[in-house]
Amino acid sequence: YIRFSTPDQIKGDSLRRQLEASSKYAAEHNLTLDDTLNVHDLGVSAFKGTNFESGALGQFIVSIDEGRVARGSYLLVESLDRLSRLPVTDALAIFQSIISRGITIVTLTDSTVYSKERLQDNWTPLLIALVSMSRAHEESAVKSRRVKAAWDAKKVRVKENKEVMSGRCPWWLKPSADNQRYEINEANAEVVRLMFQLAKDGLGNMLIAKYL
């Protein structure tokens, strides 16, 4: 299972690193690496549980229930924070929903093996897992608070200095040279004016798109 939080990370080393670690573990433990399900959540957050609710991780669990993933299979993950960064109780529920279906989870960073049978005999690894889940959620929560605080501070500064909020704006606008207002980007605005004129002349969306 491959996951990282932002689309920009695909430009980095995260995807290669996780794929390489999975292939290495499978080879060393005589496992057949099945990549046909493409269990990848690339640019998907685990802090809000999106990867579980509507992403590939949730589909993986559905695949177990449908018999496309056999009981006794292994789910290889770089670390538990790839599965979830939700609060501990929610993260644990996801973790349990996988191993209770007969799937063995392996964290590649430390080669720890989690399975229903193993945890019945020795629940010490579960304590380590809980600590990892707690740390993952707290790291994401702190980051979220910092980002929100930074944006709140920026809003105050923008209001006090009468600046534009961001350079990201509708593509027919642009920040002024002094960054205190938005100006019309005339080259792009001409296209917008044309779209309105075509609509005024009776053309619908599809015909306008075709014309453009």
**Is 5 an active-site residue?**
yes
Q: Is the torsion defined by CA of 33, 39, 44, 45 positive or negative?
A: negative
Q: Are 109 and 78 in contact (CB under 8 A)?
A: yes
**Of the candidates 19, 102, 6, the residue with the CA atom closest to the CA atom of residue 47:** 6
Question: Exposure pattern of 25-59 as b/e (b: 16+ CB <10 Å)?
Answer: bbeeeeeeeeeeeebbbbebbbbebebbeebbbbb
Q: What are phi and psi of 96, to 5 degrees?
A: -70, -35
Set 5, 14, 22, 115: catalytic member: 5
Kindly list the catalytic residues: 5
